[in-house]
A and B are shown apart, each in its own frame.
Chain A
Amino acid sequence: MSSIATGLKGRAELGVALLLGAVGVLVFLDANGLVTPYSQSDPVGPKTVPFIVSGLLIVCAILLAINVLRGGKGEAEGGEDVDLAHPADWKTVLPLAGAFILNILLIDWAGWVISGTVLFWGSVLALGSRRYIRDFLISVALALLTFYGFYLGLGIALPAGLLEGIL
């Protein structure tokens, strides 16, 4: 059982190598597509550094893949609230990301007060709080407070959106 689990984890880290390699190729192709005549005042040109970076990325990708296949493993980061004993809890992370995306979609159209409320309320619920009413009130208060705080205190006008005219 545990050997299967570690085998899966090892394969997951190959994804990191894949990502590094993909970014490396992307940087290379992008730089290669630049057209610049040689100029005396800028012998290095805009391509050199991207080429170096893409080389570094690809070398890292290959070495990491070898390292992982040989059984090397990155150490997951610990912390005060981190319990590495249980596997990643996607039932928390995905709704959390959902609340975040909802905020992105809503912010320009519905305004910060609404989208911020959705963001905070959604996040709190995703993280396991079950006091729906109290959490909702806190979310609204927080969104309103930051809206006015930014407007009055910092002179930054966050979008009012649907509530334009009311706020």
Chain B
Amino acid sequence: MDVWSSLMDGFATALTPMNLLFAVIGVLLGTAVGVLPGLGPAMTVALLLPVTAALEPTSAFIMFAGIYYGGMFGGSTTSILLNTPGESSSVVTAIEGNKMAKAGRAAQALATAAIGSFIAGTIGTALLAVFAPIVVQFAVSLGAPSYFAIMVLALLAVTAVLGSSRLRGFASLALGLAIGLVGIDSVTGQRRLTFGQPLLVDGLDIVVVAVAIFAVGEALWVAAHLRRTPLHIIPVGRPWMGKKDWSRSWKPWLRGTAFGFPFGALPAGGAEIPTFLSYVTEKRLSKHPEEFGKGAIEGVAGPEAANNAAAAGTLTPMLALGLPTNATAAVMLAAFTSYGIQPGPQLFSSQGPLVWALIASLFIGNFLLLLINLPLAPVWAKLLQLPRPYLYAGILFFATLGAYSVNLQAFDLVILLILGALGFMMRRFGLPVLPLILGVILGPRIEGQLRKTLQLSAGDPAGLFSEPIAIVVYIIVAIILAWPFIFKLIRRNRPVPATSIPGNSGATVPREAGGVSHGSHRADGTVDGDGDG
């Protein structure tokens, strides 16, 4: 019962009045910012990183826990009330959620989303608490060759599986790796890509990079395409559910959780695939299939639960292996490193109390969300009416402030602008942002593992394959890379498109879901297509 007692210690840390206050602040900030259009949880954490730098790590991470789940919940509120999801993970929620809201059932849609998120988040966090130490036990036996292989897998999987264009994903990854190279080489002390500029010697601050790509790039991009006609916002009262809604919701919640957690925990995680799978499953199992497309509550309950369970699942590889698989986890990893803490197998032994306090506050944050957000939903809906000039000017203002306060040098703001312009360009030409961020964060660590591996083998490349786990991982990498070709072969041999029976063939669904991640229009099209087929 080691886990149990550690977790109780974690609760003891997290429940001190001061830390509880940070959790409440985190939940409120996370939801408020998550509700605001254009701001996702990753950007929220990135913007708040500099602010938390003055806090002690435990308090900061307790606050991050609140922000993490709060941002998720805020995102789904927006997609239900506006039908324009800000994040790819809430695309599926918007399909039925907005239809429900239009039919005057916004209160029930928000309620099933909030309660489903709570249940999925709680189960997901419990699974995290159980599985993370197991993964750690497994991970301490791994050497540099296996780590190198796993990190390569994570990068390739995130790049190749998510998003609609693999080529553009790899372009983004390569840019990220190049940015990660800037600065002094840790082994030989050589300066790389510094161009004689002394301020670049320490490398680019990850906070500056994240704020530039997420916040500045987004603000500039939205400014260029600002919607001049205000969106119609559906007014909402206090969320509640009737008896019938409960009986139709509880099974989708549990099934969504079952989809979400494993996908989140995989190196190629993310919430897009499980939310889509959950939606398709609920549609097939529903006693009211005719309601799908017109506002079926199952279509909100399942994907929302899947989304939150995936969010919890993502933290497993992040904490146990130091491997982030979504943007928010990547930024949280950056936060860890800025405190001088290295996530990975040693984390649980070296920073045990901190990690368990973080896990405990995930439970607390989840509970607070339910407690705070059900009554506050009408207030959050009002936030959607914030005039856009103030909103985006505010994002730029706080992005600048955050990036400047890290080192108090104007040079960082120049970097912020340049990388912000890069973020703008990436949004314009459909380059996904996540591979770039992961490349910046994981690039230097991958290089470290590679050099360690070949150091051990005295320069013999065979050293890369010296551990069985590494070989297994390389086989998976090969399958992922060859996947489009295999897929084409399967298609050619089977003239009936497999897409017409989604849910039955795991082979095709991830491809579809990959498409979902790029905007609501395509998602709508995909799902309608399934209905017709």
Contact = CB atoms under 8 A, between A and B. Distances in A.
Contacts of A82: 221-222, 225-227
Interface string B16-60: 000000000000000000000110000000000001011000000
Nearest to B429: A74
Highest count of chain B CB atoms <10 Å: which of A63, A77, A146: A77
A56 B214 CA distance: 24
Interface residues of B, number: 84
B245 interface: no
Contacts of A120: 393-394, 396-397
Given A42-B188, A44-B454, A154-B51, A119 B400 contact: yes
A107 B404 contact: yes
Nearest to B447: A49
A42 B84 contact: no
B397 A127 contact: no
A32 to B, nearest CB: 11
Main secondary structure of the interface of B (DSSP, over half): helix
Contact of B178 (A45, A53, A119, A158): A53
B223 A92 contact: yes
Given A46-B190, A74-B429, A127-B388, A83 B405 contact: no
Nearest to A129: B389
Contact of A30 (B192, B218, B394, B443): B192
A79 B40 CA distance: 11
Nearest to A109: B410
A159 B82 CA distance: 41
B262 to A, nearest CB: 28
Highest count of chain B CB atoms <10 Å: which of A75, A125, A142: A75
Contact of B223 (A73, A78, A86, A89): A89
B414 interface: yes
B225 A86 contact: yes
A114 interface: no
B162 interface: no
Contact of B175 (A57, A77, A126): A57
A163 interface: no
Interface stretch (B118-126, B128-136, B304-312, B516-524): B516-524
B4 interface: no
B401 A116 contact: yes
Nearest to B390: A124
A150 to B, nearest CB: 6
Highest count of chain B CB atoms <10 Å: which of A26, A53, A128: A53
Nearest to B427: A77
B169 to A, nearest CB: 10
Interface in A48-63: 48-50, 53-54, 56-57, 60-61, 63
Given A83-B226, A92-B224, A100-B400, A75 B518 contact: yes
A104 B86 CA distance: 30
Nearest to A121: B393
B193 A27 contact: yes
B413 interface: yes
A19 to B, nearest CB: 8
Interface string B448-462: 001100110011000
Interface string A32-51: 00101001111111101110
B417 interface: yes
Interface in A66-112: 67, 72-84, 86, 88-90, 92-93, 96-97, 99-101, 103-104, 107-108, 112
A156 interface: yes
17 contacts: A20-B171, A20-B174, A44-B450, A46-B185, A48-B450, A50-B193, A60-B170, A74-B168, A76-B428, A79-B221, A80-B231, A81-B227, A83-B226, A96-B396, A100-B413, A103-B400, A123-B392
Given A78-B519, A89-B225, 5 more contacts: A42-B187, A53-B174, A76-B429, A79-B221, A128-B388
Interface of B: 37-38, 51, 53-54, 78, 82, 84-86, 164-165, 167-168, 170-171, 173-175, 177-178, 181, 185, 187-188, 190, 192-193, 195, 216, 218-229, 231, 387-390, 392-394, 396-397, 400-401, 404-405, 408, 410, 413-414, 417, 420-421, 424-425, 427-431, 443, 446-447, 450-451, 454-455, 458-459, 518-522
